[in-house]
């Protein structure tokens, strides 16, 4: 396996880089979209059930179908990585909307009441009080989404997008196990890397969680 | 001054939480809203800072109609304390306290300095400043809640059952310190409780509400005890209100008897007392406890030590209420109530029957103590 990597290292590193980018960008965009949506679902209670249902349905669309459909919808070329980013953003949003809504819902009524009574306006309260307290729950959701993205990106290899999934298609075409094993290994390492980064950021943002043993 | 001008609150489901309330909470005084659960105390309180909007009527802060002030600005000049403190779990104690000053645009260092100052003011050690709320006990959190409400020095404070979630001893202490603080600060306070004892202890005036959100009586604590407006108030105020009312009558001139004493650490030889009880004092002359001669064997080798003393009795100061003096008599193992001067030194003793005679003589002279301050009806 190491020999195989040495021989193809340039190409494989390129795929790894793409794979990382194609999983990370949707995570970022997905979070930015899910935050206001989750807030809305929380703020207007009647929105919560439909939003959560729609999000769940979105997640059940097969990824391959989305990769093939999007170029038509977005007027992009089939090999354009934008398709993958958009598709995975949809999945990330689907996963995170509910997480954000529930995370905001976990802030205690006493805290919300105190914040309002002290003269926070709605946006200030959201940014300075609710979101900081919601960080641990949102981070847990992000970790799930990150792993899901890393594994979904591989599927895009079927339509020729350059990422680690290429190792699986190559291995399959050549009936050769080594690239497949290497692909799995690198995917797992990538997922672990994302996971650690998210955990680290969450830790830095929540010094108050460390103060008390729980 | 806070003025309710025929304020009503009807919830959409038809509940009448507050029904045409007219009331003035005078500046610099504590007005307590008290009444059974669901009588509209919290609703009334939250209409002041517009966490709840009245259905009709208006509420005035001095000469300003609160409905004409932007809510966030109104709230930044009104301190608010709730039952479980509602501290921000993600901020240190000092940052929690500095919240409103920061919202008002104070410089960060100045706001935190103010936070530390208030931490001390409410009786918490300075090293709590950098802790997080979860590292404090409920009573300590409640103090931080009070400090946070005071941080921007608001003229008005609203407190919704702030002390009811802590144990009785901590509550007593919080109440005492609250009164001491209010003595220094002179805020206009509206305080909600369902505990009539707390209302009587803390209020300059007490508003008793009945279910349906109607004002049953607005009066000073003394008036409430001596002259309940109707059967509902009488029942709510409770059974031993005659005894509690004594708490509002200063004892005034009190003729005490000289009490033979014995110094701590001295030998019991030759000690004498008419009924076998002897009061021990320290070298300052402050009473320490009663000694029963029958419990100890007088002799050169027996000295007065801590463990020989009965400490059950309370002690009343020279400026105490009739209730405190009577309690000193009733709780004293010798039956003689111990009275001390301002410095805590023994002034003499009185008996319960002497205090009762005093009460009987006093009673017709002043059946209705005057209300404290103005306002109300
Ligand atoms: N949002 C609401 N919708 C409908 N009814 C309400 C609402 N909030 C309060 N009420 C009702 O209004 C009445 C007064 O409620 P409020 O909270 O002011 O009582 P309270 O005196 O503070 O009681 P407690 O001592 O139990 O705190 C109650 O009957 C309550 O059920
Ligand atoms: Mg209440």
- Write the pLDDT tens digit of every residue in B316-372: 887 788 888 999 999 998 889 999 988 889 999 999 998 888 888 876 544 454 444
For residue B274, the model assigns a pLDDT of: 66
A206: closest CA of chain B, how far (Å): 7
Q: Has residue A214 been placed in a domain?
A: no
CB-based pocket (< 6 A), ligand 1: B 11, 13, 15, 17, 37-43, 194
B92 vs A contacts (CB less than 8 Å): 208
What is the tally of structural domains in chain A?
1
Ligand nearest to the backbone CA of B47: 1
Helices A81-105 and A48-60 pack at an angle, to 10 degrees, of 150
Do B6 and B35 fall within a single domain? yes
B47: closest CA of chain A, how far (Å): 11
Q: Has residue B253 been placed in a domain?
A: no
Best residue for ligand 1 mutational test, from B9, B17, B42 (most atoms within 8 Å of Cβ): B17
Q: Has residue A92 been placed in a domain?
A: yes
* Residue of A113, A120, A132 lying closest to B90 (CB–CB): A132
Long-range contacts of A51-54 (CB under 8 A, 24+ apart): A51/A97, A51/A98, A51/A101, A52/A97, A52/A98, A52/A101
In angstroms, rounded to a whole number, what is the distance separating the alpha carbons of residues B362 and B249? 9
Q: Has residue B86 been placed in a domain?
A: yes
**Between the CA of residue A37 and those of A50, A56, A100, B34, what are the distances in Å?**
12, 14, 8, 43
In angstroms, rounded to a whole number, what is the distance separating the alpha carbons of residues B188 and B59? 15
For residue B299, the model assigns a pLDDT of: 61
Q: Has residue B372 been placed in a domain?
A: no
Q: Has residue B68 been placed in a domain?
A: yes
Q: Has residue B256 been placed in a domain?
A: no
Do B85 and B123 fall within a single domain? yes
**B76: nearest CA partner in chain A:** A119
Q: Has residue B252 been placed in a domain?
A: no
Do B315 and B223 fall within a single domain? no
For residue B271, the model assigns a pLDDT of: 59
Do B89 and B187 fall within a single domain? yes
Q: pLDDT tens per residue, chain B (377 residues)?
A: 999 999 999 999 999 999 999 999 999 999 999 999 999 999 999 999 999 999 999 999 999 999 999 999 999 999 999 999 999 999 999 999 999 999 999 999 999 999 999 999 999 999 999 999 999 999 999 999 999 999 999 999 999 999 988 888 888 888 999 999 999 999 999 999 999 999 999 999 999 999 999 999 999 999 998 899 999 999 998 877 788 888 888 888 888 888 888 888 887 766 566 677 888 899 888 999 888 877 766 565 678 888 888 887 888 887 788 888 999 999 998 889 999 988 889 999 999 998 888 888 876 544 454 444 433 33
Which of A151, A198, A156, A187 is closest to A12 using CA atoms?
Answer: A187
Q: Has residue B377 been placed in a domain?
A: no
> How far, rounded to the nearest angstrom, does the alpha carbon of residue A21 sit from its chain's CA centroid?
12
For residue B33, the model assigns a pLDDT of: 97
Nearest atom (ligand 1) to Cα of B9? 12
Do B266 and B240 fall within a single domain? no
Calculate how far, in angstroms, residue B43's C-alpha sits from the geometric centre of ligand 1. 6
Do B85 and A110 lie within an 8 Å CB cutoff?
yes
For residue B160, the model assigns a pLDDT of: 96
Residues of B contacting chain A (CB within 8 angstroms): 49, 51, 71-76, 78, 80, 82-92, 99-100, 103, 131-132, 134-135, 145, 148, 158
A22 and chain B: CB distance < 8 Å anywhere? no
Please name every residue paired with B31 in a beta bridge, in sequence order, or none if there are none: B190, B205
Do A114 and B131 lie within an 8 Å CB cutoff?
no
What is the tally of structural domains in chain B?
2
The interface predicted TM-score of the complex, written ipTM, equals 0.86
Please name every residue paired with B267 in a beta bridge, in sequence order, or none if there are none: B303
CATH assignment of the domain containing B290? 3.10.580.10
CATH assignment of the domain containing A87? 1.10.3720.10
Tokens at A171, concatenated: 């291995």
In a 3-state reduction of DSSP, which class is residue B339?
Answer: strand
* Residue of B49, B86, B100 lying closest to A110 (CB–CB): B86
Do B166 and B111 fall within a single domain? yes
Strands B30-34 and B188-193: parallel
For residue B269, the model assigns a pLDDT of: 66
Q: Can you list the residues of chain A whose pLDDT is less than 50?
A: none
User: Residue B130 in contact with residue B94, Cβ under 8 Å?
Assistant: yes
- Listing DSSP states for B177-234 in one string gives HHHHHHHHH--EEEEEES-HHHHHHH-SEEEEEETTTEEEEEE-HHHHHH--SSHHHH
Q: Has residue A213 been placed in a domain?
A: no
Which of B62, B68, B85, B263 is closest to B159 using CA atoms?
Answer: B85
Do B38 and B92 fall within a single domain? yes
Nearest atom (ligand 1) to Cα of B194? 25
Give the predicted TM-score (pTM) of the model. 0.81
Do B282 and B234 fall within a single domain? no
* Residue of A114, A119, A133 lying closest to B76 (CB–CB): A119
Do B159 and B46 fall within a single domain? yes
Q: Residue A20 belongs to what domain range?
A: 2-205
- Listing DSSP states for B27-70 in one string gives TTSEEEEE-STTSSHHHHHHHHTTSS--SEEEEEETTEEGGGS-
Do A110 and B134 lie within an 8 Å CB cutoff?
no
Give the number of A-B residue pairs with CB atoms closer than 8 Å.
69
Where among B246, B280, B309 does a domain terminate?
B246
Do A212 and B134 lie within an 8 Å CB cutoff?
yes
For residue B72, the model assigns a pLDDT of: 94
User: Residue B166 in contact with residue B138, Cβ under 8 Å?
Assistant: yes
Q: Has residue B374 been placed in a domain?
A: no
CATH assignment of the domain containing B164? 3.40.50.300
Do B232 and B328 fall within a single domain? no
B82 vs A contacts (CB less than 8 Å): 110, 113-114, 117
Do A212 and B135 lie within an 8 Å CB cutoff?
yes
Which of B342, B175, B320 is closest to B249 using CA atoms?
Answer: B320
Do B90 and A206 lie within an 8 Å CB cutoff?
yes
Q: Residue B99 belongs to what domain range?
A: 2-246
Ligand nearest to the backbone CA of B209: 1
A2 and chain B: CB distance < 8 Å anywhere? no
Do B267 and B119 fall within a single domain? no
């Amino acid at each position: 396996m190491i020999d195989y990597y040495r021989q193809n290292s340039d190409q494989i590193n390129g795929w790894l880089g793409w794979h990382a980018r194609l999983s990370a960008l949707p995570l970022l965009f997905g979070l930015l979209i899910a935050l206001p949506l989750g807030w809305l679902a929380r703020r207007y209670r009647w929105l919560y059930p439909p939003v959560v249902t729609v999000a769940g349905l979105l997640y059940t669309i097969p990824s391959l179908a989305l990769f093939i459909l999007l170029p038509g919808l977005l007027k992009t070329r089939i090999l354009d990585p934008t398709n993958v980013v958009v598709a995975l953003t949809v999945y990330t949003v689907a996963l995170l909307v509910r997480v954000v809504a529930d995370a905001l819902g976990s802030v205690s009524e006493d805290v919300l009441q105190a914040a309002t009574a002290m003269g926070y306006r709605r946006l200030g309260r959201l940014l300075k009080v609710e979101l900081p307290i919601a960080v641990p729950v949102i981070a847990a959701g992000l970790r799930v989404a990150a792993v899901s993205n890393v594994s979904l990106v591989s599927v895009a290899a079927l339509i020729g997008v350059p990422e680690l999934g290429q190792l699986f298609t190559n291995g399959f075409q050549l009936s050769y196990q080594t690239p497949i094993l290497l692909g799995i290994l690198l995917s797992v390492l990538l997922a672990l890397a994302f996971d650690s980064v998210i955990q680290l950021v969450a830790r830095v943002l929540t010094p108050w969680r460390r103060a008390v043993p729980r | 001054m806070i003025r309710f001008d025929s304020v009503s609150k009807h919830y959409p489901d038809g509940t009448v939480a507050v029904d045409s309330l007219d009331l003035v909470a005078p500046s610099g005084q504590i007005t307590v809203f008290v009444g059974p659960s669901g009588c509209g105390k919290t609703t009334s309180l939250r209409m002041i800072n517009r966490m709840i909007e009245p259905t009709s009527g208006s509420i005035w802060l001095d000469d300003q109609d609160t409905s004409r002030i932007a809510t966030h600005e109104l709230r930044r000049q009104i301190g608010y304390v709730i039952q479980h403190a509602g501290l921000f779990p993600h901020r240190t104690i000092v940052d929690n306290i500095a919240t409103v000053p920061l919202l008002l645009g104070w410089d960060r260092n100045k706001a935190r300095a103010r936070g530390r100052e208030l931490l001390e003011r409410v009786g918490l050690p300075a090293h709590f400043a950098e802790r997080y709320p979860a590292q404090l006990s409920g009573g300590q959190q409640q103090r931080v809640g009070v400090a946070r409400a005071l941080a921007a020095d608001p003229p008005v404070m609203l407190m919704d059952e702030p002390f009811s979630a802590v144990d009785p001893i901590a509550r007593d202490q919080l109440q005492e310190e609250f009164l001491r603080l209010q003595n220094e600060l002179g805020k206009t306070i509206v305080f909600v409780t369902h505990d009539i004892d707390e209302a009587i202890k803390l209020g300059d005036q007490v508003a008793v509400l009945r279910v349906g959100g109607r004002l049953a009586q607005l009066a000073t604590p003394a008036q409430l005890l001596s002259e309940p407006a109707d059967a509902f108030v009488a029942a709510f105020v409770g059974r031993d209100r005659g005894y509690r009312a004594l708490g509002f009558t200063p004892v005034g001139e009190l003729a005490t008897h000289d009490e033979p004493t014995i110094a701590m650490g001295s030998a019991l030889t030759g000690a004498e007392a008419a009924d076998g009880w002897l009061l021990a004092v320290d070298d300052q002359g402050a009473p320490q406890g009663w000694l029963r001669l029958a419990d100890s064997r007088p002799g050169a080798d027996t000295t007065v030590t801590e463990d020989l003393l009965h400490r059950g009795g309370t002690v009343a100061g020279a400026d105490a209420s009739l209730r405190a003096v009577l309690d000193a008599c009733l709780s004293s193992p010798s039956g003689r109530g111990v009275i001390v001067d301002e410095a805590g030194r023994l002034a003499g003793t009185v008996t319960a029957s002497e205090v009762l005679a005093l009460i009987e003589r006093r009673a017709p002279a002043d059946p209705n103590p005057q209300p404290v301050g103005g306002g109300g009806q």
